[in-house]
């Protein structure tokens, strides 16, 4: 597969500056230099750089060339299954996009590279995760949004998306006021059961290695690690 700088129209339009991405399968320092020159020439402000986990030497090279290491992205997968009824109710969300819903979406992205990279200038994390939950509730990028309610409040949510014929957990969050009640496990089981009932054979979820609670949850729920990817951001500060 050819490595190339791919301009991202949606990200560029939403953030208000040129954004592109690079996916590489074998690290080559000379190629890294070519990508930097190309990004500068094409006046790209931000480049997402995805690659397999690097050695310490190659990682240090990336940092020395101005890349910011923002994430080790982990993909967990399992075969779908139908779970028994739970001690609390998970229901389909059909209401409007409320402040509570947006708060849960933002909490789900607390470890996101959009939240942890300090170079973002315009509250991109908040805007992105607000847009994500809006599009999920409106069924633009999710096939289902499930929630747990407690004391008339939204205690947690999970969105289920479809990609390449497989189910994916998109957003998953439990409000900080309702944690340690197994709601995260309940939402995960509900998403798994929903995917099973819809005929999906496999369900996946992407999280960050530094998000230890999420990684622990998915391992507990019998998800297996399927892939690991290093993610860097390159900022063209001349733009």
The 10s digit of each residue's pLDDT in 79-99 is: 999 998 777 899 999 999 999
Q: Does residue 238 carry a pLDDT above 90?
A: no
Residue 100 has which token pair?
Answer: 């509570």
Statement to judge: residues 63 and 109 lie in one domain = no
| 17 and 123 belong to one structural domain | no
In a domain, 1, yes or no: no
Q: Are residues 70 and 82 in the same domain?
A: no
Within a domain: residue 22? yes
Is the pLDDT at 1 greater than 60, yes or no?
no
Instruction: Answer with the residue of higher pLDDT: 29 or 238.
Output: 29
CA–CA distance, 110 with 106 (Å, rounded to integer)? 6
Q: How many CA atoms lie within 13 Å of 220's alpha carbon, on the beta-carbon side?
A: 12
Confidence check: pLDDT of 123 > 60: yes
- In this structure, the answer to whether residues 109 and 191 fall within a common structural domain is yes
The pLDDT value recorded for residue 152 is 87
Token output for 114: 């959009």
What's this model's pTM, rounded to 2 decimal places? 0.93
Q: Which domain holds residue 192?
A: 77-227
Mean pLDDT, residues 63-67 taken together: 96
pLDDT per position as a tens digit, 189-236: 999 999 999 999 999 999 999 999 999 999 999 999 999 999 999 999
Q: What is the CATH number of the domain that holds 163?
A: 3.40.630.30
Q: Are residues 59 and 97 both part of a single domain?
A: no
Tokens matching residue 41:
């020439």
SS3 content of the chain, % helix, strand, coil (to 5): 35, 30, 35
| pLDDT for position 3 | 66
Averaged pLDDT for residues 16-31: 94
Residue 151 — pLDDT band, cuts 50, 70, 90? Answer: confident
Phi and psi of 3, rounded to 5°?
-85, 130
Q: What's the alpha-carbon Rg for the chain, to the nearest Å?
A: 19
Q: Tell whether 192 is covered by a domain.
A: yes
Task: Say whether both 59 and 119 belong to one domain.
Answer: no
Q: Residue 2: which pLDDT band, with cuts at 50, 70 and 90?
A: low
Query: In this structure, are 163 and 53 located in the same domain?
Result: no
- Is the same domain home to 89 and 155? yes
Asked whether residue 143 falls in the same domain as residue 83, the answer is: yes
Are residue 47 and residue 137 in the same domain, yes or no?
no
Q: Angle, nearest 10°, between helix axes 212-220 and 183-197?
A: 50
Q: Are residues 24 and 63 in the same domain?
A: yes
Domain membership flag for residue 118: yes
* 107/122 same-domain check: yes
Average pLDDT value for residue range 61-90: 94
Question: Could you give the C-alpha distances from 49 to 44, 74, 106, 107, 112, in angstroms and in order?
Answer: 13, 15, 24, 25, 15
Number of domains in the chain: 2
| pLDDT, mean over the chain | 95
Q: Specify if 98 maps to a domain.
A: yes
């Amino acid at each position: 597969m050819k490595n190339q700088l791919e301009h991202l129209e949606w990200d560029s339009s939403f953030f208000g500056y040129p954004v592109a991405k690079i996916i590489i399968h074998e690290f080559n320092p000379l190629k890294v230099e070519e990508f930097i020159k190309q990004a500068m020439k094409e006046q790209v402000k931000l480049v997402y750089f995805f690659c397999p986990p690097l050695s310490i030497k190659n990682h240090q090279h990336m940092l020395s060339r101005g890349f910011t290491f923002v994430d080790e992205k982990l993909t967990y997968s399992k075969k779908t299954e139908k779970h028994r009824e739970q001690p609390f109710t998970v229901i389909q969300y059909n209401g409007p996009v409320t402040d509570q819903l947006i708060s849960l979406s933002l909490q789900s992205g607390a470890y996101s590279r959009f939240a942890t990279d300090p170079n973002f200038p315009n509250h991109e994390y908040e805007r992105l995760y607000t847009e994500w939950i809006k599009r999920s509730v409106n069924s633009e990028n999710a096939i289902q949004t499930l929630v747990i309610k407690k004391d008339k409040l939204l205690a947690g949510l999970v969105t289920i998306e479809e990609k390449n014929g497989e189910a994916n957990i998109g957003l998953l969050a439990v409000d900080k006021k309702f944690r340690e009640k197994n709601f995260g496990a309940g939402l995960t089981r509900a998403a798994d059961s929903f995917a099973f009932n819809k005929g999906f054979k496999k369900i996946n979820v992407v999280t960050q290695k530094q998000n230890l609670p999420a990684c622990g949850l998915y391992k507990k729920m019998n998800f297996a690690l399927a892939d690991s990817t290093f993610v860097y951001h390159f900022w063209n500060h001349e733009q």
